[in-house]
């Protein structure tokens, strides 16, 4: 299983707008991905409710994981989005 450990780049964490951007990116990739707090259980990265339920704050570490074909490229793309705290969905997703 491929995984990436990433520090949240959004000051407000994965709440409201950042979570929406993240979930749209995860969905657009077409690869099943999970996200978890460093010490927590993984949830579906394409589920807004699941992502919000994590309560991830800015600067916290999360683990992105997938065992699907294309996982490495998908995780790299999401890791960049999360670590940089982008305000818009990148066109390369």
Catalytic residue numbers, as ranges: 15
Distance between CA atoms of 48 and 22, rounded to whole angstroms? 9
* DSSP string across 49-88: HHHHHT-PPTT-EEEEEE-STTHHHHHHHHHHHHHHT-SS
CB atoms within 10 A of CB 14: 25
């Amino acid at each position: 299983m491929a995984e990436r450990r990433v520090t949240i780049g959004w000051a407000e964490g994965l709440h409201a707008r950042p979570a929406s951007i993240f979930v749209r990116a995860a969905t657009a990739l077409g690869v099943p991905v999970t996200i978890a707090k460093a010490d927590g259980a993984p949830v579906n990265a394409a589920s807004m409710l699941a992502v919000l339920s994590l309560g991830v704050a800015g600067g916290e570490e999360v683990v992105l994981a997938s065992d699907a074909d294309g996982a490495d490229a998908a995780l790299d793309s999401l890791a960049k989005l999360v670590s940089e705290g982008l305000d818009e969905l990148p066109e390369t997703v």
